[in-house]
Structure 1
Amino acid sequence: MGSPTLEDYSCWILGIIVVLGQSNLAESKPTIQTVNFESCYNISKRLVNVVVDTLSQLQNLSEDFNCSYTTIDLQYDPHEMHTLNACLPQTCICSNINKPVTDKDRCLMSIHSDLKTFKSKLQSVNLTLPPLNKVTEEMMGALKRYDDGMEGKTESYSQYNRKIIQCTAILKFQRRAITISRIFSYLKDEASKRLSH
């Protein structure tokens, strides 16, 4: 074997350029992962129903404790407000929302984050009913690409505090589930309007 010629080097260089060019193209192509708003809306309606059923079960089990909006002061922590902050226009009158969700990715990421927060809170107070877990997981799965990778924290509570926190968490989750369902209804309708034009 003799020493490589200029022609040999040019073949190698050309080969390297082609391989690098293909890998750069593969990296630069955005992965198109769309969210099926129709499916998310249907899941969100089931989520609302399951949360309402869970609240009803909790109220029936708590004979010594009245779990209702009139007895619990619902003060939201900032980490429970992602959906509202990201999905609703800042200057809206909530009874008449007809402005578009401006940043859908931020909105969907916030919905996923709120679902994870409520799921973690309910698990930390031993409120893990299979139907609630299943539909929450299904909704989170539909938004999996928006998972931030952060895990929720778990805490331990006394028996009485656990009842209060269970009640507060499920009441807040009920409101958030309704909000999520309304957002997906809007996004579903908006997507179908775009398809029909």
Structure 2
Amino acid sequence: MPLIKLYFSPALLLLVLLCPLWQVSQSLPVMSNGQLTDSCGLYAKTLLQNITATLKQNNLFSGIDCSKQSVELNMETNTASVCAPKKSTCSGIVKSEFDQKSCLTNIGEDLQHYYKLLAAQPDPDSLLGPSVLSSLRELMKNCFAWSLPTDMASNEVAANRPSTYDERLSLCKVLKGFQIRTITINRVISYMKSGEHTK
């Protein structure tokens, strides 16, 4: 599974986070059948909050300054590009159409990818499972049910063993990438909720 390491300058990260066309505050995720629900919005917001809080857990990343590490994004999906708003200039390319089905498919694939990756991480202190994995599972179960792995319970097997330095370093980079992707997902769903994509 190809992962790419991205090094963000503070200015680029600020541009991504503050692009005026997308708003996080009104994020309401879309269910697989295309209907919006307020509860899905809460699940998505909770997931982002839990990822952000987990990245601040020193116990999870002992020996590593996670804030100074690079970001690893899932490059098997095209969520950022296919979910860009119509007439968006954030990426430098003006997009004339918005394909909601393709966007939702990519979001579901991202959620599934990160679930499988994070479920396989050692978590002896239960810092990851009850927060990030639990909120991710709730979002998937209630809003993107088709993306749930069929063997969900058997994926969570590494929880009680201690993690190695390399595993903690990788987890830090992956969680940073997941945080960025979750911000994108929240913004894109807010865009869909606004109805701008149908105009």
Q: TM-score range by the shorter chain?
A: 0.5 to 0.7
What does residue 144 of structure 1 align with?
145
C-alpha distance 76-34 of structure 1, shift in aligned 2 (>3 A) = closer
Deviation, 1:115, is 0.9
Q: Which residue of 1 aligns with 2:49?
A: 49
For residue 44 of structure 1, report the CA deviation from its aligned partner.
Answer: 1.5
- Separation of aligned partners in 2, 1:101 and 1:182: 17
Say how many residue pairs are matched.
Answer: 158
C-alpha distance in 1 between matches for 2:111 and 2:191: 19
> How many Å apart are 1:38 and its aligned residue?
4.0
CA contact (8 A) 2:44 2:186 kept: yes
Shift of 1:96: 9.7
Shift of 1:105: 1.1
The equivalent of 2:117 in structure 1 is 121
User: Contact 1:74–1:168 at 8 Å: present in 2 too?
Assistant: yes
**Distance in 1 of aligned mates of 2:144 and 2:53:** 23
Answer with 86-95 or 159-168: which moved more. 86-95
Offset from partner CA, 1:128-173 (integer Å, 9 cap, x none): 421212211122120224x39798999x9x7121011110111111
- Name the residue aligned to 1:7: none
TM-score (norm 1): 0.63
Q: Equivalent residue of 2:63, what SS?
A: coil
Gapped regions of structure 2 (runs ≥ 5): 1-31
- Name whichever structure is richer in strand by fraction: 2
Amino acid of the residue matched to residue 45 of structure 1? K
Match of 2:69 among 68, 72, 97: 72
Structure (1 or 2) with the larger CA radius of gyration:
1
Distance 1:166 1:189, change over 3 A: same
**Aligned partners of 2:193, 2:168: CA distance in 1, in Å?**
37
Letter in 2 for 1:33: N
Contact conserved, 1:113 with 1:148, CA < 8 A, in 2? Answer: no
TM-score for the superposition, normalised by structure 2: 0.63
Residue identity matched to 1:76: L
User: Which residue is 1:22 aligned to?
Assistant: none
CA contact (8 A) 1:44 1:139 kept: yes
Preserved CA contact (<8 Å) 2:50 2:132: yes
**Distance in 2 between the 1:101 and 1:148 partners?**
28
CA RMSD of aligned residues (A): 3.8
Q: Which of the two has greater helix per residue?
A: 1
CA deviation after TM superposition for structure 1 residue 35, in Å = 2.8
- Identify unmatched segments of 5+ residues in structure 1: 1-31
1:18-37 counterparts in 2 under 5 A? 33-36=33-36
